[in-house]
Each structure stands twice: as C-alpha cells, then as structure tokens.
Amino acid sequence: MPAAERTRAQALMALTQQFDAAGVDTAAEDARLLLRAACGLSRLDLATEPDALLTGAEEDRLSSYAAQRTQHEPVSRILGERGFWTLDLVVAPDVLDPRADTETLIETALRLCRDTPPTTILDLGSGSGAIVCALLSEWPQAHGVAVDLSPHACRATMQNLRRCNLSDRAMVMRGRWSEALGAGRFDLIVSNPPYIATGDLAGLDPDVRLYDPALALDGGADGLGAYRAIIGDLTRLATPGALALFEVGAGQAGDVAALLAAAGLTPAGVVRDLGGHERVVAARHGLAGPTGA
Ligand SMILES: C[S@@+](CC[C@H](N)C(=O)[O-])C[C@H]1O[C@@H](n2cnc3c(N)ncnc32)[C@H](O)[C@@H]1O
C-alpha cells in the first residue's frame, strides 16, 4: 500500500522530530535545508506553500537525506556544497568541510591588508580551497599558491578554484607544508592547519570525527605540531612586511603567537570569532606596514 501523502509542513515537522530523537543539535534548521533540497524549493516557496504535497520522488530523496543525517553526516556533505564567504563551494569526501569560523581569517586579512593589498598569497593546507578562493575573489590582482599533502584536498582546491573562475591566478601543489616551495616569496601567508591534540580526537562530535579526515584534524600530541613545522620556515617565504595569519583552536593563541615571535616575526594581534573565541593569530615579517589586528 502506498504511504499516505504528506504536506511540506507535515514532512518538516516529522523530520525535525526524527533529527531531535537522533541527537542532531540543529534539528529544525537541518530539516528545513534538507526538505528544501529534496523538493527543489527556495526559502520563500517553503514559507508560502507549506500545504503542497510531496511527490514520490521528493519523498524518496528526503528519506535518503534523512537516513544520512541521522548517521550524523553533515548537511553540507549530504548536499555536496556549502556557502563560504561569498562563494558556493563543493564539499568533497575526505576533505575538511570548511567552517564559518574560518571566515574570521578572511575578514582579518581584508582589514589588515586594506591599504596594501597582497599580490602573492600562500595558503598552507588548503583543503577545499575555501581560504585561497575567498582571498583571490576579493583581490583581483593577486596570485595564489595552495599546498596540501592530501591528494583529495588538492583535487578539491582545484575544483573550487575552477568553480569560482580563479584557476588562472592560482597554482595547487601537493606537498608537506612549504617543503616543495622554491625561492618565491609571498605578501600574505595563511594557514588553518590541523590543531586538535591527538588524544582529543576520539571525543569529537560524530559529525566531525566520522566525516572530516584525520589528516585535517590531528595536530599531534599537543595540537601544535603543524604550527611548529610551518612557522619554522616562514621567514624564508615572506616578503618584507608580509602578513601571516593562522587560525587557532581553543587556548592556542598564546602558544602560536610565541612560536611566531620566536621565529622572528612581529606579533600583530589575536582576533576573536563571532562566538567570542580567539580564532586568528596575526604576525608581520619585519616592521613595514600596520601591525595591529
Ligand atoms: C584544518 S584543514 C584546513 C582546510 C582549509 N584550509 C579550510 O580552512 O577549510 C587542514 C589541512 O591541512 C592539510 N595538511 C595536513 N598535514 C599537512 C602537511 N604536512 N602538509 C600540507 N598539508 C597538510 C590537510 O590535508 C587539510 O586539508
């Protein structure tokens, strides 16, 4: 016997309850997004026509999305894309799903480079390419180099650069941090490296632990391993006055600022994200240009 037909409003309520019961924190928001995607609806369509009936194909899609989300697969992975900054990016399997908090790094870069926009940008650990794509989209005169050790991430960076029409201004290299980079120097060096202490990985939310790759998360015994590896080579890569920006995890800003100072860079401040957490550490190579973040 065919299942009874449901209206959009009924489907939305049932899905929200199903996600709540499965322990999904953002049950109502996720239900709305997945219902809209399953039925091809705009926000307005859903608000103005809640009594329209779902077709069989829409029910099938919704049921497959619901099964994925109750297994804690994030909405962006189910739908294969997410908004970051002003861009719509592909979210690929085995590549970190870019986070809204990382937009703090983009805002900081724009603010600290307002008077002297960079012409050369280096993104170490580019993942999906979220950071390099956002920065190149803001500075049409700039060229970028993106490096990642993961072949999946390198492919995703290239895919998103193409999607954003930025490929002609960027080069993607597979390698261990800056090891493969030659004599070129950069005005802006950015990185959101893995920064979770190895011992904390098992306690992460399932949305993260089961779907983001360990290579993108594991920062070694104290979570600072990647910062040490990257910062040790920064002065070789930076033009005089270059800005370096690092995303950091909880409680790491002081340690990362100290690593930067020990490497000969001038601390230029710590910036908090919208949740009030210290999120970005800034430093300058030499004293040219404004320093304060
Ligand atoms: C936290 S993710 C950041 C991804 C992306 N930049 C973002 O903000 O969404 C860290 C990235 O560093 C890469 N990575 C880890 N170890 C690396 C290494 N030794 N050399 C280069 N990249 C590395 C991972 O593959 C991953 O893509």
Return per-residue pLDDT of the chain as tens, 293 residues.
456 799 999 999 999 999 999 999 999 999 999 999 999 999 999 999 999 999 999 999 999 999 999 999 999 999 999 999 999 999 999 999 999 999 999 999 999 999 999 999 999 999 999 999 999 999 999 999 999 999 999 999 999 999 999 999 999 999 999 998 998 999 999 999 999 999 999 999 999 999 999 999 999 999 999 999 999 999 999 999 999 999 999 999 999 999 999 999 999 999 999 999 999 999 999 864 444 56
Which pLDDT value is given to residue 2?
52
Which pLDDT value is given to residue 293?
62
Which residue ranges make up each domain of the chain?
A: 8-71, 85-284
Closest-CA residue, ligand 1 atom 11, reads 125
Closest ligand 1 atom to Cα of 193: 10
Site to probe by mutation for ligand 1, drawn from 76, 192, 201, 237 as the one with most ligand atoms within 8 Å of Cβ, is 192
Which pLDDT value is given to residue 1?
43
Closest ligand 1 atom to Cα of 152: 25
CATH of domain 85-284: 3.40.50.150
Which pLDDT value is given to residue 180?
87
Which tokens is 59 given?
């029910």
Closest-CA residue, ligand 1 atom 14, reads 125
Give the bridge partners for 281, in sequence order.
246, 270
Site to probe by mutation for ligand 1, drawn from 209, 215, 230 as the one with most ligand atoms within 8 Å of Cβ, is 215
Looking up tokens 């991430």, which residue turns up? 153
Q: Please tell me the distance between residue 260's alpha carbon and the centre of ligand 1 in angstroms.
A: 19
pTM over 0.75: yes
